[in-house]
Structure 1
């Protein structure tokens, strides 16, 4: 079972490591990055290797006072002393990265399952789990080696626990807990979609809360208003299929090479076609909300292909004649035009809502795998700038699933006091731990409730926002 390993590394450094022990919860705590955060657990760290530690960081953390106030220079130095390993296995890429608290990416590794995607025409959960299991140890070890660090040098381990495929999530969480238990490190449980949003704060240091975010990937379309860290308002979501899944399925029907990914392959073919040649209907125009639907557009594509006598099975474009290729290019271009118009319309409404709720917003983040699409970026940039906002898109390597976004989100929450204590060093392989395959990010905006057929809600965990706010209320 083949995988492709991509490596990136930077220079090494030495870092403080902490052993954290639980202390009673503190009320009204104001910590490094939150404006008025009360968090569910507070831990008092004891220094293991303190020679290079910032003295104010050590003093503040070890004494755990009710209020930790920082000058900007002190905060910058404290951040330098934190380093977190991030592990991501939510779907079809095995990724790990080491990131310093000041945002320096020390290393990152991604093992792609492109061969499996091409072979099965999409993600096969059991095959994906096996692929993760085969490479997880190597990916994590090489991320540490390329940063010239060991587990002794880490402050914590961050890992995706949802949303995603439970079989795949389990591989990453088991590895994270084994490593954290061995080196007595705290665990930061990360929400995959929050990580897609927050990685923009790594690449754009001026990005402050509140901001609007569109998160688009193979499994998700999500519009959120980020009030502050851990506090999100869901303006719109996917009621059936996400845009990335629609791109992938359409690309497979068109006989494109899935080895490079369905989205990139379709975008490339669309450049050869006439985007106005086929009059696909824009989804959900009658619904005046910010929710998304791509199932109907997929059906339209299939109907057109059948009417044009284009086989959707075992018909690679490499064997198509010039006329057949042109027709497939027209379908690809027309599909992309309408798929992105659906994004534009929903984003415009979300901007209108967000400005009324938070008039101070200045930025809109677009992230997730589909945000790597150049046409998507160009069209959304026009919408955002027309509304006098600034568009922030992470580079393509940080839009697709990666360990950097998990490590950075771990840093944000770790420095705000949200983390779990180290797991037992002898935790058995079959130990039970929580995964959240279906896990909303924010609470639903009342005006954003879908009038279309309802989103599946079976076995959905409470949202990240409600869980954090609920823990605050318990301490009041």
Structure 2
């Protein structure tokens, strides 16, 4: 419905102020068009789900403000969603879609309201994490026949499972024991793998944003063994770093820069034909991708062992986030999961990158378990309830994570995804807004 990728290509990355302006320009028409294409009116909605973090606060505020307004005007529950949990939970969607629409179903028609839409879910006495398989509700057209054909309907993966979240902003291994119940086993010490792909792509002369997909395409015609790049954290003297589940990609990116300056300086590039230059760049791309994925594989294999220690009944490895669309990443992680005797569950490629479907789907799950806020009264100023969490941990950290100490040293910590994020709309929203910043 809307994309601002083209806005940022000129700058080689996301420019916060431009991103905010693009959000403001598109938000109203995008909501209107989404409702039109779905064939529903606001009165037929059951709730409003919205990402409140983590991310750029100035962009999050645009979406949250619109969601609070819709919730207030139509008196609908407001479901606040953690962006990274949404990436993990969307892996459930194709299985649910397969239940809703057989693989041979025709193209979806205008959606009907879910079977339980007329009766809002009764919230439990206290919000609790879901620790077993959630029964799959019927889903609307956006996730019906087409999504059902994208993955084999293996069923919704039961908790607990290990989640690998890989994107431009995040690189985490998370033990998911329930909805809103996640423990971080490892995260990045510096750059995420997605950020490393994007920055390396720019070093290779790729201007598209994000740079990961075109880098992957370039790497297909290269020799991944042509250049010996250092595997991250393999030579560190810090044993806790070497044996952890944490990641580091800044050094690998720097090694690629040094390689290009040494092997392919500007003077040498000018002497090569365009075909030969692209071939040399392909070798660098392939070598980078091999080492980047090897680091991912090593840490994921270790995390599977840690997760099994805590939960011998571990059900699967879930891989989500934009980098999960990379076919080499999928191939290698499928192998790792298979060696551990587990299946790998991954969303369809189109749902790996940021999308509204994953937020809506996660919002459905949270709503069904009472994890929603009451709508703000129409007599109140909705701006007081525009709460965003640009830094919002998905959950507590495993003590073995080498980034644990740095996290504990912070004086103020945001609640995890399992804790309520909103407040009582009958109370002043100013304190909520301050606490969420």
Q: What is the TM-score normalised by the length of structure 1?
A: 0.71
Is 1:194 aligned to residue 144 of structure 2? Answer: no
Q: Following TM superposition, by how much is the alpha carbon of 1:257 offset from its aligned partner in structure 2, in angstroms? A: 3.9
Partner of 1:268: 217
Is 1:299 aligned to residue 249 of structure 2? Answer: no
Partner of 1:243: 193
Aligned alpha-carbon RMSD (Å): 2.4
- 276 and 343 in structure 1: CA distance in 2 versus 1, 3 angstrom threshold: same
Is 1:134 aligned to residue 83 of structure 2? Answer: no
Contact 1:439 1:464 in 2 (8 A): yes
Contact 2:163 2:318 in 1 (8 A): yes
Q: What pairs with 1:47-446 in structure 2 (closer than 5 Å)?
A: 110-204=1-95, 205-258=155-208, 261-285=210-234, 287-310=242-265, 321-428=274-381, 430-431=383-384, 433-446=386-399
DSSP-derived class of the 1:333 partner: helix
- 400 and 456 in structure 1: CA distance in 2 versus 1, 3 angstrom threshold: farther
Contact 1:198 1:409 in 2 (8 A): yes
Contact 1:225 1:234 in 2 (8 A): yes
DSSP-derived class of the 1:446 partner: coil
Deviations 1:345-393 (A, max 9, x none): 0000000111111111121100100000111101111111111100011
CA distance in 2, matches of 1:113, 1:265: 18
Deviations 1:157-203 (A, max 9, x none): 00000000101101100110111111011100000001111111222
CA distance in 2, matches of 1:352, 1:310: 43
CA distance in 1, matches of 2:296, 2:369: 33
- 399 and 458 in structure 1: CA distance in 2 versus 1, 3 angstrom threshold: farther
Contact 1:189 1:410 in 2 (8 A): yes
Q: Following TM superposition, by how much is the alpha carbon of 1:343 offset from its aligned partner in structure 2, in angstroms? A: 0.4
Deviations 1:379-428 (A, max 9, x none): 11111111110001100111111111111111111110111010233554
> Gaps spanning 5+ residues in structure 1: where?
1-109, 469-476
Moved segments of 4+, more than 6 Å: 451-456
CA distance in 1, matches of 2:406, 2:376: 42
Q: Following TM superposition, by how much is the alpha carbon of 1:143 offset from its aligned partner in structure 2, in angstroms? A: 1.1
DSSP-derived class of the 2:226 partner: coil
Q: Following TM superposition, by how much is the alpha carbon of 1:431 offset from its aligned partner in structure 2, in angstroms? A: 3.4
CA distance in 2, matches of 1:408, 1:463: 20
Contact 1:269 1:329 in 2 (8 A): yes
- 440 and 146 in structure 1: CA distance in 2 versus 1, 3 angstrom threshold: same
Q: Following TM superposition, by how much is the alpha carbon of 1:241 offset from its aligned partner in structure 2, in angstroms? A: 0.7
Greater share of strand: 1
CA distance in 2, matches of 1:346, 1:151: 45
CA distance in 2, matches of 1:467, 1:144: 28
- 198 and 461 in structure 1: CA distance in 2 versus 1, 3 angstrom threshold: same
Deviations 1:303-362 (A, max 9, x none): 1111124459xxx99x96222212111110010000000100000000011111111112
Deviations 1:121-149 (A, max 9, x none): 01111100111111111111111111111
Contact 1:166 1:436 in 2 (8 A): yes
CA distance in 1, matches of 2:382, 2:21: 16
